[in-house]
Amino acid sequence: MSNESLANLMTETRRFAPPAEVTAAANVTAAAYEAAAEDRLEYWAEQARRLSWEQEPTETLDWSNPPFAKWFADGRLNVAYNCVDRHVEAGNGDRVAIHFEGEPGDSRAITYAELQREVSQAAHALTELGVATGDRVAIYMPMIPEAVIAMLACARIGAPHSVVFGAFSADALATRIEDADARVVITSDGGYRRGAPSALKPAVDEALTRPGAARVRNVLVVRRTGQDVPWTEGRDLWWHETVGRQPEEHTPEAFDAEHPLFILYTSGTTGKPKGILHTTGGYLTQVAYTHHAVFDLKPETDVYWCTADIGWVTGHSYIVYGPLANGATEVLYEGTPNTPHNGRWWEIVEKYGVTLLYTAPTAIRTCMKWGDDVPAGFNLSSLRVLGSVGEPINPEAWVWYREHIGGGRTPVVDTWWQTETGAMMISPLPGVTLAKPGSAQTPLPGISATVVDDDGNEVANGSGGYLTLTEPWPSMLRTIWGDDQRFLDTYWSRFEGRYFAGDGAKKDADGDIWLLGRVDDVMLVSGHNISTTEVESALVSHPRIAEAAVVGATDPQTTQAICAFVILRGGAPQEEGLVEELRAHVSKELGPIAKPKRILAVDELPKTRSGKIMRRLLRDIAENRELGDVTTLTDPAVMDLIQSKLPSAPSED
């Protein structure tokens, strides 16, 4: 990215100081940055002491064979014990761990003591099914408590899980079962989505007809919806029968800190998903620490809610392992934000008195589109910290989130991280940071990140380049499952001795980091590098635009031409002259070079289930090509909808 590239994001001048009451009682203060800078490894060793180890580690980091890291290698611990049992032993068995809210409105509160019993039973059941330490288990579930229980049961017996997002196809499930060679699959009859039961089990049955998945011995099925399910005798087992009859006590065994915890596939916005491997001690240390620091969690009084799906890394790290390791009380919601009405989320915040909320920019922009009056109809005064993850959050959405959800009071933390990093890496701290809407700002204490140019030299403040991580961190991926070479090639080959994340970023005059999206998405227009994020952000700053996705399409004159797909606010029909007005608006914000050549109003954008816009598919459309892999889309029908709007390619206005 060239230095003269456009800078509208960094000209955002609104600043928000942390509220005095948050600062006064903050879990982590500015001193943490100094302590970590003075002795990074000692800082992490100290954070590892948040966990209960059966054998305390004496070694923090073994980096003798980079980039294959070992953290806390001689320590031994059990992850499920840390997330469940120790809270019961500390006298907090009656604390609610999970407030489950089903989409139809059924609810269930699960205390830590109950969680301990159910995780213990599920662990016994897996052992009975022949799952031994090190064996892989596939989990294909809706957002119900048994999904969390299944993950913890696997962790308890040292069987790495591979959670496959519940809306993925039978093929996607089969590939992941095969890749991990899982012999047991945990699923449910179905779950509730958009007001109706939606079946899951048939996709499992279909997946298991594929040769690669034929070695699965058992399918454990949770009854959620009560719908009819096809059944294979001998292979299929009901959860309530098999788990329900097990003893409620189970002695957790400690495993090495580098024992594998899970395999999880990336969301696939840039290509074929990668099976990321995470291990135990370092991972749990960093997810627990960051959840404590970035949300300023007070486990006795806070009610935390992360709206992500457990099939995504945010669900692993910030629904299951981080919050539960910290003894938090959290909400788990099964359904969609607009069932039965557009205010469902805010109704849930009011009902449970949610204090800490973690969601994605796409959800925030969708709520903006639905209108300010929706959240205004609920009492959201319990909220005290708001988080964002998954994509760059444009300043307009950031400020809307703070104003309309956070009542103009709450800090907003924009957390940058990836499946590969396992835990948050760059984020403001709510009691410390003077917040800049649109910027993830500063690497967390103990994390080293920097922006470099093509040659790997750190760029000056005010310039852009590639975001790299310069020191190993506890929750880093250990490899790509079964493919060390792809691990080396993908992350460690671009810049000598550093991890390259694939994202572009800029440093502002203060050295704060602004994420610019994937380097693959950067456009080249008449010799200028232009980031899709910046043009999207400029479009969304226009009052008529709720969401925008921008791609560069091959163009004979300008190398690439900027094509924008926009969703209008309030869904009103497109008025005459709007396209011209939008082009003029972008030109004014960013300069004439960034003016989109084509702008097309659409009703929906193609998104992954983790809420990311699939720009590569829009590029296929803009370049009039056959669509690439759509299997990780929330709703592949969206592509037909968009294509139906354009007989061939987006028309030039």
Between CA 378 and CA 389, with CA 384 as vertex, the angle to 5 degrees is 95
Q: What minimum distance in Å lies between the beta carbon of 483 and Mg ion? A: 15
479 binds, among ligand ATP, Mg ion, none (CB under 5 to 8 A by kind): none
**8-state DSSP, 317:** I
195 in a known ligand binding site: yes
Q: What minimum distance in Å lies between the beta carbon of 267 and Mg ion? A: 7
Nearer to Mg ion by C-beta: 47 or 608?
Answer: 608
Nearer to ligand ATP by C-beta: 69 or 440?
Answer: 440
Chain centroid offset of residue 396 CA = 21
615 in a known ligand binding site: no
194 in a known ligand binding site: yes
236 binds, among ligand ATP, Mg ion, none (CB under 5 to 8 A by kind): none
Q: What minimum distance in Å lies between the beta carbon of 109 and ligand ATP? A: 30
- Return d(Cα 645, Cα 524) in angstroms, integer: 26
414 binds, among ligand ATP, Mg ion, none (CB under 5 to 8 A by kind): ligand ATP
526 in a known ligand binding site: yes
* Selection from 624, 51, 619, 121 nearest residue 325 by Cα: 51
Nearer to ligand ATP by C-beta: 256 or 508?
Answer: 508
- Return d(Cα 91, Cα 89) in angstroms, integer: 5
Q: Are strands 499-507 and 528-530 parallel, antiparallel or unpaired?
A: unpaired
Paired strand residues for 524: 529
Instruction: State whether residue 330 is helix, strand or coil.
Output: strand
310 binds, among Mg ion, ligand ATP, none (CB under 5 to 8 A by kind): none
Nearer to ligand ATP by C-beta: 243 or 614?
Answer: 614
Nearer to Mg ion by C-beta: 311 or 437?
Answer: 311
- Return d(Cα 469, Cα 416) in angstroms, integer: 12
Chain residues binding Mg ion by CB under 5 A are 266
Q: What minimum distance in Å lies between the beta carbon of 321 and ligand ATP? A: 16
Paired strand residues for 504: 466, 517
- Cis bond before residue 67 (omega within 30° of 0): yes
303 contacts 331 by C-beta, under 8 angstroms:
yes
Chain residues binding ligand ATP by CB under 6 A are 266-270, 273, 313, 389-392, 414-416, 418-419, 440, 501-503, 515, 518, 610, 612
273 binds, among ligand ATP, Mg ion, none (CB under 5 to 8 A by kind): ligand ATP
391 in a known ligand binding site: yes
* Selection from 149, 88, 83, 158 nearest residue 120 by Cα: 149
- Return d(Cα 92, Cα 85) in angstroms, integer: 10
- Cis bond before residue 340 (omega within 30° of 0): yes
548 in a known ligand binding site: no
Q: What minimum distance in Å lies between the beta carbon of 197 and Mg ion? A: 33
Nearer to ligand ATP by C-beta: 60 or 175?
Answer: 175
418 in a known ligand binding site: yes
Q: Max CA-CA distance within the chain? A: 71
Sheet holding 479-480, edge to edge: 236-238, 218-222, 184-188, 137-139, 161-163, 260-265, 275-279, 479-480
First CA to last CA distance, the chain: 29
Q: What minimum distance in Å lies between the beta carbon of 614 and ligand ATP? A: 9
353 in a known ligand binding site: no
Q: What minimum distance in Å lies between the beta carbon of 488 and ligand ATP? A: 16
313 binds, among ligand ATP, Mg ion, none (CB under 5 to 8 A by kind): ligand ATP
Q: What minimum distance in Å lies between the beta carbon of 418 and ligand ATP? A: 4
- Return d(Cα 490, Cα 174) in angstroms, integer: 24
503 binds, among Mg ion, ligand ATP, none (CB under 5 to 8 A by kind): ligand ATP
Instruction: State whether residue 138 is helix, strand or coil.
Output: strand
Nearer to Mg ion by C-beta: 128 or 520?
Answer: 520
Q: What minimum distance in Å lies between the beta carbon of 566 and ligand ATP? A: 20
- Return d(Cα 18, Cα 220) in angstroms, integer: 47
- Return d(Cα 527, Cα 559) in angstroms, integer: 8
232 in a known ligand binding site: no
Q: Number of C-alpha atoms within 13 angstroms, CB side, residue 462?
A: 2
440 binds, among Mg ion, ligand ATP, none (CB under 5 to 8 A by kind): ligand ATP
501 binds, among ligand ATP, Mg ion, none (CB under 5 to 8 A by kind): ligand ATP
Nearer to ligand ATP by C-beta: 317 or 355?
Answer: 317
196 in a known ligand binding site: yes
Cβ neighbours, 10 Å, residue 233? 6
Nearer to ligand ATP by C-beta: 158 or 504?
Answer: 504
406 in a known ligand binding site: no
478 in a known ligand binding site: no
427 in a known ligand binding site: no
Nearer to ligand ATP by C-beta: 6 or 480?
Answer: 480
Instruction: State whether residue 390 is helix, strand or coil.
Output: coil
Using left for φ > 0, alpha for ψ between -120 and 50, and beta otherwise, residue 482 falls in left
97 binds, among Mg ion, ligand ATP, none (CB under 5 to 8 A by kind): none
Instruction: State whether residue 643 is helix, strand or coil.
Output: helix
* Selection from 59, 60, 76, 73 nearest residue 471 by Cα: 60
Numbered residues of the known binding site for CoA:
193-196, 314, 338, 526
Numbered residues of the known binding site for ATP:
390-392, 414-419, 503, 518
Numbered residues of the known binding site for Mg(2+):
540, 542, 545
Numbered residues of the known binding site:
193-196, 314, 338, 390-392, 414-419, 503, 518, 526, 540, 542, 545
